[in-house]
Structure 1
Amino acid sequence: MNKAARPRIEAVSPGLVRMRLIAAGLLLAMAVVFLVSRAYDQRWPALGFVRAFAEAAMVGGLADWFAVTALFRHPLGLPIPHTAIIPRNKDRIGTTLAAFLRDNFLIPRVVARRMLRLDVAGAAGRWLANPLARDGRIARGASALTIHMLQALDQQRLGGMVKTMIGTRLADLDVAPLLGQALTAAIAEGRHLPLLDGIVRWAARVLEANDHLIRAMVHERAGSILRWTGLDETLANKIIAGLNGLLSDMAADSAHPLRAKAEEGLESLAYDLMHSPEMQARVEAIKAEIIANPAMQRWLDGLWEQARGGMMRMARDPDRVMQGPIGDALRQLGETLQNEPRLRATINRFVRRTVVGIAADYGDNIVRLVSETVKGWDADTITRRLENAVGRDLQYIRINGTLVGGLVGLVIHGIDVVLG
């Protein structure tokens, strides 16, 4: 895994530091109470209960401190067996996490069943249409989760997978019939006329910029007599003037015979694109050459990087992105999604089929990506990330262990006093 893709080691979260100090402070307080009660319990026997509570609390607190610490590192730096469990087993954790994703989320029938109950379009519409929703904890959590995911995953591998997926979809797309249908619809609605006008104007500009080539061609092919009398120049002028007149007539007359011929050619091309196997094969060959072209591959790389950069910017500052024309357009889209049941059902069906298709086609790749990404993290990185995620709750275990241990010690001491 290269340096660019290696996730940075995160600092310990302030909440975790605070909970560590509370747990350690409580343990230290129990030690002080134990020493004081031990010094005076001969004078005041009732302090025996306090001493028993503090003594058992220290035992419980120390035991839970050892258990919690052993998850992430060696207690006191000593290589005690069965400690530093997470760093020593990070590869197994990656494999287990990947297997969990595969068995519970990426099986197509499981994905289809779960997606059937989700109204993705409705939720997206409510989120887009309601500006207040973007200020809540869910939006902030989603933004943070998106940033962490984009930073943590192997960008080269993920970008390659996205590029491969786009390339595969383009290769599977039957382009010729789509082009034929689009061209037929454009001709039927007259939307091809601006195209013909543009071609005529372009031809006039090309003729004007390259009239010297026509003069040179006529001069080279004319006989010596024509060149001697200067008739070659006259002939060239007539040819250029005739071509200019023809283009002017085509630009001014929408019913010009040559324009009609051009329209017939476009109609024939549209028919061949939809029905001719030879034409479809030629289009497929051109498409394959374009996809295999290194420039196309670089464009796909850039497309993924632009998309990733845009997602990072939106995740870091979603409110800023949602202001202005983009925000207005998205709010209108959200209102439309909420008010159009048929559109919402269509989008939900499309999302469901897309997610199921991704799970079927790329589930193994996603699982492998997660497993290899976790295995590629160094021990400090995965330890720090997991500790920041669950460390505060584990410190509560230390606190509870201290208090519960003290109560157990108090009960045992009370029983001993009663039976003694």
Structure 2
Amino acid sequence: MAGLFVAARLLQPRYPWLGFAGAFAEAAMVGGLADWFAVTALFRHPLGLPIPHTAIIPRNKDRIGANIAEFLEHNFITPEVVRDELKDVDFAGVSARWLADDANSRAVAERLVGTIPAVLNMIEDRDAAEFVGGTLASSLKDVRLAPVLAQVLSVLVAGGQHVRLLQKVLGLVGNALDENRSYIRQKVHEHSPKWMPRMIDEKFFERLMDGIQSILDDMADEEGDWRARFHDAIDELIHNLEQSPEYEERLRALLTRGLGHPVFRAYVADVWRDVRARLLASSASPDSRLLLRAQDALRVFATALGQNEAVRAKLNDWLKSFAVDAIVERRSLIVAVVRRVIDKWDADTIAQKVELHVGSDLQFIRINGTLVGGVVGVLLYSLSLLLGGH
């Protein structure tokens, strides 16, 4: 523009129309220099001169950081903005499709199974027994055991399960008698007087076995007195469990003694040791059944989730609500991180970062300022000619 200005001024006496070019170049130089000064003053002192109100970004770094953090907090990390951004995200669907891939479900299963040894090694056998006993005791302390047992028995009775159970028990007793006839005969002979003839012992044994078998047959008879008394006993037991505080106290005392008994704790500890050993062995194998079952379970879950739109919608609603609450509740922490990072930057660094990110746009600002200044110069030159002509 400076060269154009000089050339236009030198040639204007010969070519008067170059007055427009000179006016354009003159105003363009002013506009370009003004915008260069303005843009440069944002990041540093122009020409290194400490002119007031220059190097704006370095001088106001802390205030800019605080304003950016506050702007993020009140304009970006708000419930409305976060909820609106997440409304079309299908978390459940994306997760289901991702887990349906064998490689992904295998990777997740390996991670899950891989955490088992670390978790198991943190738990002592005694702690496991105390945890099981304490958990059962605390879970059942507010539960009325007798009515619950009465309801279970009522369900069994309604379905005829108590009769099947009775028949099963009678069958087991009958089989036990048949399988141990010789043992019972021996015991009868051992407890009989030595002077009693063996034949009488044998008769006594046969009558004893026939009597027991007769009782079992009567109990198995659906129309017999034994069956009627059995039904009456069950009904009475259900009634007592529902109404009698004494039964509740007995069950509670029985449960308390059982959970606190050393035998129960030792049994739980033995079971825990066995389970832990099996889990550790299974988690160490790359082709363990535990790993394969975990992978199958993940695939089944992914398939079911992908096919059930209602469950997927509910899961998405829950995840979005959780994400909104988690992000908004912690926005002060996010904002604090932004403020701390900006505070750690030195003034020159932040000026360079901003200038590098918007450098091309800043160059166009200078170019546009030059062109706009030139156009304004032409308009003013034209206006001066019009006014001079009058």
- TM-score, with normalisation over the residues of structure 2? 0.43
Larger radius of gyration, structure 1 or 2? 2
Q: TM-score, normalised by structure 1?
A: 0.40
